[in-house]
Chains A and B, each alone.
Chain A
Amino acid sequence: MDLSRIRNFSIIAHIDHGKSTLSDRILELTKAVDARDMREQYLDSMDLERERGITIKAQNVRVEWKGHTLHLIDTPGHVDFGYEVSRSLAACEGVILVVDAAQGIEAQTLANCYLALESDLEIVAALNKIDLPAADPDRYAMEIETVLGIKAEDILRISAKTGQGVGDLLDAVCERIPAPKGDPEAPLQALIFDSQYDQYRGVVSSIRVMNGRISSGSRLQFMQANAQQEAIEIGVRRPATTPVAELGPGEVGYLIAGIKDVAEARSGETVTLASRPATEPLPGYRDPKPMVFCGLYPIDGDEFENLRESLQKLKLNDASITYEPETSGALGFGFRCGFLGLLHMEIVKERLEREFGLALIATAPSVEYRVTKTNGEMVKVDNPADLPPAQNIEFIEEPYFRVSIITPKEYTGTLMELCQSRRGDLSKLEYLSPERVELHYKIPLAEVVVDFFDQMKSRTQGYASLDYELDGYQQSSLAKVDLLLNGIAADAFSTIVHRDKAFDYGRRMCEKLKELIPRQMFDVPIQAAIGGKVIARETVKAKRKDVLAKCYGGDITRKRKLLEKQKEGKKKMKAIGRVEVPGDVFISALKLDD
């Protein structure tokens, strides 16, 4: 294929700024999808993606526009999936930056733009939703010019919803985004920027050929995994999968190589030919590192093996999940799982429940601490239950995030208050424009993973946006707060918190759990304790009445159904000792913060 006619680009946009709608319009306009087959958010194939309005897995599609071949590479839209974004960008020469004309640019979008700029990608900026009454494209065009140096007059104005300006945008893509470069005669270097598991075909990887050619039937070398596979099928998505004989430099498509586990074809992997391998893999590969950990336990203990198999299957499609069996005195057998972030954790739990029919209880999320013991040994602790006894601890270090928040300036005060309450350290405060401020903080990760995002959103009516990256470890004064349920210390309830906040945390958790744990047949004391010393206590009073008043001819069927429903409800409860606890009690307890 003539390289000069190829354009590879991603769309960078904040959640709800219209990326999926724009993708839909592009598919329509280029006649890649028939109007009658069109459904909303065509590229978001997971139900969860459509429901939450976010893209979790990257997709790509080939369309034709005025003699050009365009590869649209969809990127994940949440901060938890930043690495996947960077791999998608590595497959492009340019990006379309979509900014809501009524809201302006958001922190994470900005972070992704910087990422694009660092990779020397051409940015075609567009203000979307100009059909909205609240749209203020002039103002936000100026802002984009200030923060990104893109001239305001070069910024397109579109409405992905009505289709207005989308054709001009595609013209601009062809004019401004450079054609890919690459040597068709050089040894093959193809970048995997996404892999998904398909139960019939095995792993299907999205690839971008950088140099050389890949053809079906050839023997491939996966350079990071150090494994050889055969290219069973290569093809392109239009968006229907269409096999092709060969892909050359600059082309984007998919590869099926009989692989059963996405961990062997991870984002960032370089594929070359076994017979004539490239000397170097493409740069930028890294192992995704879990940031947040929690225990997942089946509510029904007999489902443990089922949970293991489900995690295995899920991992086929999401190499970033880690899991290891663990045992909890309170919860029995389960798995300690690692996630990229809290959203990732929630999505995984939800997928396990929905797609595999499991009922699960999740423990309080934790980060990974580094504990140096008095004997000089350093251990990593991602489960508070594993924290060595206090007398054996010399000091504890915790991971920190470098956080940037972009906000309309009127919310600066409340956000600074939030960050300070989360032990944040302000490193910089910048005005992006007269109205908007970017705050730079250093905050312990443990303080960010717990509802920080929700708090930020609620304090700013959703206007502030967040980006973060890991910024090393620091020593902190930390203590383990244990929770006792009905007098029994429940290991799964323990959390590591800063000493100054331990009392407050214990009191709040007791109050929350009192609300969240349904009344039982007996009084349930809830206590918080540090090192055996009780610091807070609440009681869930015993339920005294649970009976149907009437049970006559017409009531009997109803009563049976009611009892069946009540029984079903119990299946979503985990018995901790004699106490029945809802499966999402910890996630809820940490979320309901006010």
Chain B
Amino acid sequence: MTTSSVSEFGVYVHVPFCRHRCDYCAFATFTDRDHLMERYVSALRLEVARAVEAAMPTATSIFVGGGTPTRLAPDLLAAVIADIPRSSAAEVTVECNPDDITAESLEVYRAAGVNRLSFGVQSMVGHVLASLGRTHDPSNVERAVELARRAGFDSFNLDIIYGAHGESLDDWRTTVERVIALDPPHVSAYGLTVEAGTPLADRPEQYPDDDVQAEMYEVVDDLLVAAGLANYEVSNWARPGHECEHNRVYWKQGDYVGFGSAAHSHRSGRRWWNVRTPDRFCDLIESGQSAESSFEVLDHEQRRVEGLQLAIRMRDGVPAGSFSDHDLAVLDGLVVADGDRLVLTRRGRLMANEVSLRLA
């Protein structure tokens, strides 16, 4: 069913440290554990070493995410990356806070083999950033992109979020236009999502409105496509050749392993995830145990359906015949034929859940 070749293998590294927690964030990240950083990196390296010893495949992509990977001293991060066996053409991405990076730190990343950066921009409008509970200055983004270019990173991503409380359609257009002005090869635009347990969840009056978010999605899609970035997954746009290889592994049900607290892994239908807190993670790894917290095994049918549900979100869609004729009629305007594939229209991308439910 999936088209992923056996040789593709992704490695994710989780860095659970942040200076400040954003109001909407539900990730396993902590603002009060900086004292653990060195210990955490040692544990990470131990976990990697054990996997390597157990014949982990060569990585075709590495993604360092968080949290805020740039909170770590650059050489610590470089050491972890160096431990992971990777193919010569591997894509190696580090998520960056635009405030943190310097010419020096980028130099260290570069030397460690990092060839792609992903910046958490979120918005280019001050009051929207404040509403998201973010602290950086939009001008830092311009500075960071400039530094990245100078350091030789020709592939990078800018992450933006739409639907913050108080964000107008014009605010959003401003963000998108200022992002395009930086000529990024890749943009991820996410609808702000209310996650249980976040400060935002306690403020229903600030919940994003679906209709407004739908309009914002159309705005960003119009502007990015006009700027030469094609949509290749619901929330991702790229110039040809700059699509994120690592994320494609997820979406093609490929195998990947995650290192660090709360990191998720997948191999041939078995998924597992590590304990959530860095403290527990360090304790377990240091005492020679696995950090696995829990797992699930998908049966053949679940895997098949899930494969379709992931595939439908991508540009290439699903094989013809993945919907009944009746459902295809119901989904008129959301799904169209493209050769022997069925793909989402733009309206369909906004309704991907409704469409996914009908995959058979």
Contact = CB atoms under 8 A, between A and B. Distances in A.
Interface string B179-207: 00000000000111100000000000000
Nearest to B272: A557
A429 interface: no
Given A521-B330, A547-B350, A554-B264, A570 B357 contact: yes
A549 interface: yes
Contacts of A578: 330
Given A521-B351, A553-B264, A563 B356 contact: yes
A547 B350 CA distance: 6
A549 B161 CA distance: 10
B272 to A, nearest CB: 10
B268 interface: no
Contacts of B211: 541, 544-545
Nearest to B216: A545
Q: Which secondary structure characterizes the binding site on chain A?
A: loop
B330 A556 contact: no
B352 interface: yes
B17 interface: no
A560 B354 CA distance: 13
Contacts of A560: 302, 306, 309
A566 B330 contact: no
Contact of A549 (B193, B251, B266, B330): B193
A551 interface: yes
A570 B271 CA distance: 27
Contacts of A562: 353
Main secondary structure of the interface of B (DSSP, over half): mixed
A565 to B, nearest CB: 10
Contacts of B273: 554
Contacts, number: 94
A548 B352 contact: yes
Contacts of A336: none
Given A553-B256, A556-B271, A560-B302, A547 B234 contact: yes
Name the residue in A521, A547, A551, A552 with the highest tally of chain B Cβ atoms < 10 Å from its Cβ. A547
A176 interface: no
B334 A563 contact: no
A544 B210 contact: yes
B210 A543 contact: yes
A551 B210 contact: no
B170 to A, nearest CB: 20
Given A553-B264, A554-B262, A545 B357 contact: no
B357 A551 contact: no
A570 B256 CA distance: 33
A563 B264 contact: no
Nearest to A546: B353
Interface residues of A, number: 24
Contacts of A559: 309
B251 A545 contact: no
Interface in B325-358: 330-331, 334, 347, 349-354, 356-357
A550 interface: yes
A554 B10 CA distance: 13
A524 to B, nearest CB: 14
Contacts of A39: none
B213 A566 contact: no
A521 B347 CA distance: 10
A566 B250 contact: no
A563 B306 CA distance: 10
Contacts of B310: 551, 556
Nearest to A520: B354
Contact of A553 (B210, B258, B351): B258
B296 A551 contact: no
B190 A547 contact: no
Interface in A497-555: 521, 541, 543-554
Contacts of A566: 353, 357
B12 interface: yes
Contact of B234 (A551, A553, A563): A551
Contacts of A567: 357
A577 to B, nearest CB: 11
A521 B334 contact: yes
Given A553-B256, A553-B264, A560-B306, A548 B353 contact: yes
Contacts of A541: 211
A546 B354 CA distance: 7
Contacts of A557: 264, 271, 296
Contacts of B233: 551
A196 to B, nearest CB: 43
B350 A545 contact: yes
Given A521-B330, A578-B330, A547 B247 contact: no
A475 B190 CA distance: 63
B350 to A, nearest CB: 5
A554 B265 CA distance: 8
Contacts of B331: 521
B217 interface: yes
B116 interface: no
Given A554-B264, A578-B330, A545 B250 contact: no
Contacts of B230: none
Nearest to A547: B352
Interface in A563-584: 563, 566-567, 570, 578
B326 to A, nearest CB: 11
Interface of A: 521, 541, 543-554, 556-557, 559-560, 562-563, 566-567, 570, 578
8 contacts: A544-B210, A546-B210, A547-B352, A553-B12, A553-B263, A556-B264, A557-B271, A559-B309
Q: Report the 6 A-B pairs with minimum CB-CB distance, sorted nearest first.
A: A544-B214, A547-B352, A549-B190, A554-B264, A545-B214, A545-B210
